[in-house]
Structure 1
């Protein structure tokens, strides 16, 4: 056969397979589904569904056939330009001339043209060639199986765990969002919300709950005046009620239930007897308890099913670890939600960084990750550890006890000073980064603390 016609056929095949592969890689599923719906051809629709169910597999098949076609281009190109003599066969010098020619042709038909086709008419091309794509997927089955086998070997040698389909989709979505932000299609707030939705399924109750030290509750009492004063002080419409200690929650108090009682409605919904004394337990609602390890997605589903707004979080020993509300969960997606019942001082823990003095004043409740982000301009980070999550926890872990106001110590390149503290926790801390100054007169942090960042346990 004339090498020219072999070269021509190989170039056409390479361009077609490359166009289909790139169209599958950059596929807009919704667009392809819309094309199939509009054209309404049952056989083509079935083929499109099969392609969408295994897009990576079909792309791999196109890649395999593209590689074979490209190899044919090189061979045909060399055969076309080389001269043959009875004594020496192919002349090497002439044969080598065909290699750069083949490279230029392959750039044109395997990269330049297919990229443009995939970008502008990729979905339409896939729909028109869906029968061929499916046939090639079947033909390339042995090669696809070998490629998957090699892929698994490489993953195991590299110690990479196989990703689930949902994890792959999440990673692709986040990549698209980041690219969209760079191109101006999303602003920062929209990006943060999308990322929060994607990461939502991995959150646990422990990560979003209000910790025990910040839970506002009151002890069970039948003193109506005391109850009304407590409501005014706390300012929430739903409040946990305990007996003896916070580990013994007896129910959840709803302000609207008290309003109904004052309006003459009894505990069962009927009329309250005249002169009936106030009994707080009679209007309390049962507390709903959940473990710290429950995922936020599961909890939200349960709260909606049970039609309750608040859940008490129990630790592994049965004690009260904190509480979580539907509002806490929604704030993980849409950000801070404030209502008319919240006090002005109930705000997100603040981190105030002063670049001129290389200092930062930090709320003791602030999370380490948030503080480290704010400290980036100062060139220092608080070491992370399983022993603590907040700045106050970091200070207490360093000192081995609850810190007192005015205490200072040096840790790495920073001087940490406790500005405010209660007998139970650290309220406010000042961090002063001093890279070159000695910590004379200051307590030194134990050397073991903060090694976890380097792969060593701090315990």
Structure 2
């Protein structure tokens, strides 16, 4: 009979442990933005005051609750040991009873006091803290005398690992920033350009260089030559200040030619009859993997004081290049210089609202295209198999289409306006009623 009561007491201790664990995890993963949003719906001034007091010292409240979590877990383990002893009709727990109690306790702690609290903290952390704010504050006030021990331990660990002492900081995650940008009140105060910039900053940390690079097929690169006139003609024709130079093919980059270095050589050596050797004016290329984030690449380029990087795929081949301008454009949007044709920019979408149609540069990413096409009721399918409009078309057909072909996809028709043997250049998308999910390539080669 007593064994049953010991087991019930153990479950009660584990339940309390789960409660304290959920509160600790909620404090560790606290989003101040979501908390502020939750408090807006709270009419109880006392609750609001308690929550604000918690936010003043989040680590201290978490440490106090951790003490209660530890106590209840230990109490639950002791109860389980006596439960096991009762099941074996022992007055004093023996070795086997202790082992059984600890094993059962470990399983219950893992399930009741770990998995369940993690789910609560993930899906309802801020709401739980608001509802149970009195318990959080009571635990804090109860263990205030022990908090200096936590601060002392934290300081010792900081010095042992050699970390710098930081002032008081407020950490805001990417999800918090995104929530701020999407907030109706904030959004109404921002114009479209400001919103786009803030959203770009939020995504900056996770964006890979592969997503913003100029692909290999569009790189303007110079094949190695010591013919000065040929080099000057290439520079004048393309108007780039930095040009990759390759040997046999783009997988063998010899270096990067800076137009200012070429000009400096011409002014210093061009008049004295010195032979021109291109390799002498080339700079070492910077190679980075396509999985590197834009944030990491920016730090690397700034540290090395270079403005261009060659992107390598997993096999060591050249998959594209990224310039400092590409990184800046990722935040501030398209920057057009005097050498660029306004009508030939990647990511261009021209809407024809009257015809429910749009002209799209096939290099445009699906997400960007859908943002524009939303106004005419069209949405291109998204998939992990492709990133751009051209990728969508090639994947849908299973081949590279020719100019003049059409793809009928449900209530949408895609017309190929311009294509080369190796890629699609420009398309026209029209909203046209058709049988759902119907795919038909018209005017395709026989």
TM-score (norm 2): 0.63
Taking a change above 3 Å as real, the CA distance of residues 144 and 342 of structure 1, as seen in their structure-2 partners, is farther
Q: 1:311 Cα shift?
A: 0.5
Report what 2:261 is aligned to: 257
- Matched residues in 1 for 2:173 and 2:302: separation? 27
Taking a change above 3 Å as real, the CA distance of residues 436 and 329 of structure 1, as seen in their structure-2 partners, is same
Taking a change above 3 Å as real, the CA distance of residues 167 and 422 of structure 1, as seen in their structure-2 partners, is farther
Question: Residue 211 of structure 1: which of 215, 218, 233 is its match?
Answer: 215
Q: How does 1:292-371 map to 2 (within 5 A)?
A: 292-371=290-369
Q: 1:190 Cα shift?
A: 2.5
Q: 1:318 Cα shift?
A: 1.5
Q: How does 1:41-120 map to 2 (within 5 A)?
A: 111-114=43-46
Unmatched tracts of structure 2, length 5 or more? 1-26, 33-41, 74-108, 126-168
Larger displacement relative to structure 2 (357-366 or 179-188) = 179-188
Report what 1:443 is aligned to: 441
Question: Residue 395 of structure 1: which of 393, 396, 421 is its match?
Answer: 393
Taking a change above 3 Å as real, the CA distance of residues 199 and 137 of structure 1, as seen in their structure-2 partners, is closer
Q: 1:210 Cα shift?
A: 0.8
Q: 1:395 Cα shift?
A: 1.5
Taking a change above 3 Å as real, the CA distance of residues 345 and 242 of structure 1, as seen in their structure-2 partners, is farther
Q: 1:403 Cα shift?
A: 1.3
Q: 1:57 Cα shift?
A: 12
Taking a change above 3 Å as real, the CA distance of residues 339 and 113 of structure 1, as seen in their structure-2 partners, is same
- Matched residues in 1 for 2:346 and 2:45: separation? 53
The answer to whether the 8 A contact 2:208-2:290 is kept is: yes
2:427 is equivalent to residue 429 of structure 1: yes
**Alignment partner of 1:337: what SS?**
coil
Report what 2:116 is aligned to: 154
Write out per-residue CA displacement over residues 232-254 of structure 1, whole angstroms, 9 at most, x where no aligned residue: 11111000111121111111011
Q: 1:136 Cα shift?
A: 7.2
Write out per-residue CA displacement over residues 380-401 of structure 1, whole angstroms, 9 at most, x where no aligned residue: 3222223221111222222222
Report what 1:419 is aligned to: 417
The answer to whether the 8 A contact 1:57-1:137 is kept is: no
| Count of aligned pairs between the two proteins | 327
Q: 1:404 Cα shift?
A: 0.8
Q: 1:261 Cα shift?
A: 0.8
- Matched residues in 1 for 2:31 and 2:64: separation? 12
Larger displacement relative to structure 2 (429-438 or 188-197) = 429-438
Q: 1:263 Cα shift?
A: 1.1
**Alignment partner of 2:382: what SS?**
coil
Q: 1:328 Cα shift?
A: 0.9
Question: Residue 177 of structure 1: which of 166, 175, 181 is its match?
Answer: 181
Report what 1:245 is aligned to: 249
Taking a change above 3 Å as real, the CA distance of residues 199 and 167 of structure 1, as seen in their structure-2 partners, is farther
Q: 1:359 Cα shift?
A: 2.2
The answer to whether the 8 A contact 1:349-1:366 is kept is: yes
Q: 1:134 Cα shift?
A: 9.3
- Of structures 1 and 2, the larger Rg is shown by 1
**Alignment partner of 1:111: what SS?**
coil
Q: 1:173 Cα shift?
A: 2.7
Taking a change above 3 Å as real, the CA distance of residues 440 and 333 of structure 1, as seen in their structure-2 partners, is closer
Report what 1:409 is aligned to: 407
- Matched residues in 2 for 1:399 and 1:223: separation? 44
Taking a change above 3 Å as real, the CA distance of residues 230 and 130 of structure 1, as seen in their structure-2 partners, is closer
The answer to whether the 8 A contact 1:208-1:328 is kept is: yes
The answer to whether the 8 A contact 1:353-1:360 is kept is: yes
The root-mean-square deviation of aligned C-alpha atoms, in Å, is: 4.1
Question: Residue 275 of structure 1: which of 253, 273, 276 is its match?
Answer: 273
- Matched residues in 2 for 1:433 and 1:237: separation? 42
Report what 1:236 is aligned to: 240
